[in-house]
Each structure stands twice: as structure tokens, then as C-alpha cells.
């Protein structure tokens, strides 16, 4: 191909490109939207505010989970986002295993405390025996806890094997940058979900319109938390209720 032919072809391509307005159909738009993630080169991991895998309950110690996560990061040193995902699943399963063990211990301790209240001056051996006899009455509970422990332990072991396999067979050079900020964000107390916020505001609206309405105590606690209210309902006026709650306490429902 001569230089003149190349120039004409390039000019025609530019003219045709200038006429293009991109895909029109929904399928075409969807396929086009995948271009930026076909290789992962243009993904911004900093946009992730929380990890995709969360297993924390409101009663869990978030600092304990984060310590567990950091120990695993130091041990396995993930080199890609995919490896980090496997590591997160490992931490979730191990954390839930530890939670189940703690629950089992608390239940057994409860049995010990009940035995101590029932019998005075018994020996340690008798205490263990009577507590064990009490626990036999909860056979269904113990079987459930044992199944749960086994399931979490098996899942954790499988994720460890899978992570090691990925690290061995799918090495990245250079390694991907890993963003640990979403996991660190778990330390902050979670905000109430949308439906709970709606219920809180419904209670407060009713309390505004009905002077004798008994505001639930858990709603009153939220309203008195100015920082939390600023997060979940910015601009919502609760001054009228705050005056009632702080000056002359309104009867609160449980």
C-alpha cells in the first residue's frame, strides 16, 4: 500500500469516526461499558468504601476482626485484588469460627453459674459434672454448634488452599496495588439501614404530632445522638423533641 493510499484510508477512518455516536442498542451499550474492565487496568480500587465480604454483627468486636485481617495480610501478603478477596473470605470464616467457639464457651459458663447458684460448697469436680449434666439437656444446641464449627473450619482450610494455588499459578509482575482502606473502615460503627432510618423518622414524626405518644427508647437514643442524626437524616428538625426529652422526660416505650 502506497503512502497516498494509506493517507486516504486514514482520512476515511477519521471521517467515519467523527460520524459515530457510539452504540445505540441496550446490548451495545452494555458491551461498550465493559471495555474499561476487560483487563482491569482502569479500575480504581479506592472507590471501594467497604469490603465486598462482611460478616460482622452489631455485637461483634470490629477491632478484633481487623486484627485478624491484618495478621493474615502479614502472613500471606496478597499481591492482587483477587488474592485479597480470597484472604477476606478466609478471615470471615475464621472469625465466625471463633465467634461460635466463644458462644459455646459462654453457654457452658452459663451452665456453671447456674450450678453454683443451685449447690453450695461443691467441689470443682462436682461442679464440672453437674454442669455437664445440665448441658446434656441442650443436645440439639450442641450439635448445631459443632456442625457450624466444622463448616467454618472446612471453609477456612479450603480458602487457604485456594489462595496458595492462586499465588503459585497466577503470579503478577509487578503486583497490583492493594487497597486496605475499606477493611479499616469496618472499625467505624455501621449506620442504620435505610428501612430503620425510615422507621425512626416515622416515630419522630408521630411524636411531633401526638404529644402523648410514647416514643420508643431506642428511637430516643438515636435522636439524642446529634452526630448520628446528622449522618442518617441531615437537615431533619428534631429540636422540638430534643427539648421535651432533655427538659421534661417523655414516657418512653420499651
pLDDT digits (tens, 9 = 90+) for 9-28: 877 777 776 665 666 565 55
Angstrom distance (rounded) from CA 181 to CA 48: 8
Instruction: Give pLDDT, residue 38.
Output: 43
The cell numbers describing 5, all together, are 493510499
pTM across the whole model: 0.61
Rounded to the nearest angstrom, the gap between the alpha carbon of residue 63 and the centroid of all alpha carbons in its chain is 13
What is the per-residue DSSP string for 173-228?
SSPPP---HHHHGGGSPPPPPHHHHHHHHHHHHHHHH-TT--EEHHHHHHHH-HHH
pLDDT tens digit sequence for 97-139: 999 999 998 888 888 888 888 888 888 888 888 888 887 788 8
What is the per-residue DSSP string for 99-149?
HHHHHHHHHHHHHHHHHHHH-SS--HHHHHHHHHHHHGGGHHHHHHHHHHH
Percent of the chain past pLDDT 90, that is, above it, reads 24
Instruction: Give pLDDT, residue 137.
Output: 82
How do the domains of the chain map onto residue ranges? 3-43, 62-187, 194-253
Percent of the chain past pLDDT 70, that is, above it, reads 82
pLDDT tens digit sequence for 131-168: 888 877 888 888 999 999 999 999 999 999 999 999 99
Instruction: Give pLDDT, residue 250.
Output: 47
Rounded to the nearest angstrom, the gap between the alpha carbon of residue 123 and the centroid of all alpha carbons in its chain is 45
3-state secondary structure of 28: helix
For residue 253, the surrounding DSSP H or E stretch is strand 252-253
Angstrom distance (rounded) from CA 80 to CA 166: 10
- Our CA dihedral for 211, 215, 221, 224, rounded to 10 degrees, sits at -10
Rank 79-93, 118-132, 237-251 by mean pLDDT and report only the highest: 79-93
CB contact set of 166 (below 8 Å; sequence gap of 6+): 82, 83, 86
* Angle, helices 124-135/81-118, rounded to nearest 10 degrees: 110
- pLDDT surpasses 90 at 231: no
The mean pLDDT value for 36-51 works out to 54
The mean pLDDT value for 244-249 works out to 60
Q: Do 80 and 215 meet the contact criterion of CB atoms below 8 Å apart?
A: no
Instruction: Give the lowest-confidence range in 89-93, 130-134, 189-193, 203-207.
Output: 189-193
Burial class (CB in 10 A: 0-12, 13-18, 19+), 70: middle
Instruction: Give pLDDT, residue 236.
Output: 85
Residue of 128, 132, 68 lying closest to 98 (CA atoms): 68
The band of 30, judged by pLDDT with boundaries at 50, 70 and 90, is very low
Instruction: Give pLDDT, residue 152.
Output: 96
Instruction: Give pLDDT, residue 246.
Output: 66
Q: Average per-residue pLDDT in the chain?
A: 80
Amino acid at each position: 500500500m502506497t503512502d497516498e493510499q494509506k493517507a486516504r484510508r486514514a482520512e476515511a477512518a477519521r471521517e467515519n469516526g467523527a460520524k459515530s455516536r457510539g452504540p445505540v442498542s441496550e446490548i451495545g451499550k452494555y458491551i461498550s461499558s465493559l471495555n474499561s474492565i476487560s483487563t482491569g487496568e482502569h479500575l480504581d480500587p479506592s472507590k471501594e468504601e467497604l469490603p465486598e465480604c462482611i460478616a460482622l454483627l452489631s455485637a461483634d468486636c470490629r477491632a478484633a476482626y481487623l486484627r485478624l485481617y491484618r495478621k493474615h495480610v502479614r502472613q500471606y501478603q496478597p499481591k492482587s485484588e483477587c488474592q485479597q478477596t480470597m484472604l477476606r473470605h478466609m478471615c470471615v470464616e475464621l472469625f465466625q469460627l471463633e465467634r461460635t467457639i466463644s458462644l459455646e464457651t459462654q453457654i457452658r459458663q452459663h451452665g456453671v453459674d447456674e450450678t453454683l447458684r443451685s449447690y453450695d460448697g461443691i467441689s470443682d469436680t462436682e461442679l464440672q459434672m453437674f454442669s455437664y449434666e445440665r448441658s446434656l439437656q441442650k443436645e440439639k444446641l450442641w450439635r448445631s454448634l459443632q456442625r457450624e464449627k466444622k463448616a467454618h473450619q472446612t471453609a477456612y482450610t479450603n480458602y487457604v488452599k485456594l489462595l496458595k494455588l492462586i499465588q503459585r499459578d497466577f503470579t503478577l509482575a509487578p503486583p497490583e496495588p492493594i487497597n486496605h482502606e475499606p477493611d479499616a473502615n469496618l472499625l467505624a460503627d455501621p449506620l442504620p439501614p435505610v428501612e430503620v432510618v425510615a422507621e425512626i423518622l416515622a416515630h419522630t414524626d408521630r411524636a411531633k404530632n401526638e404529644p402523648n405518644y410514647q416514643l420508643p427508647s431506642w428511637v430516643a437514643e438515636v435522636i439524642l445522638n446529634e452526630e448520628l442524626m446528622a449522618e442518617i437524616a441531615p437537615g431533619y428538625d428534631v429540636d422540638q423533641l430534643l427539648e421535651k426529652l432533655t427538659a421534661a422526660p417523655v414516657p418512653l416505650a420499651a
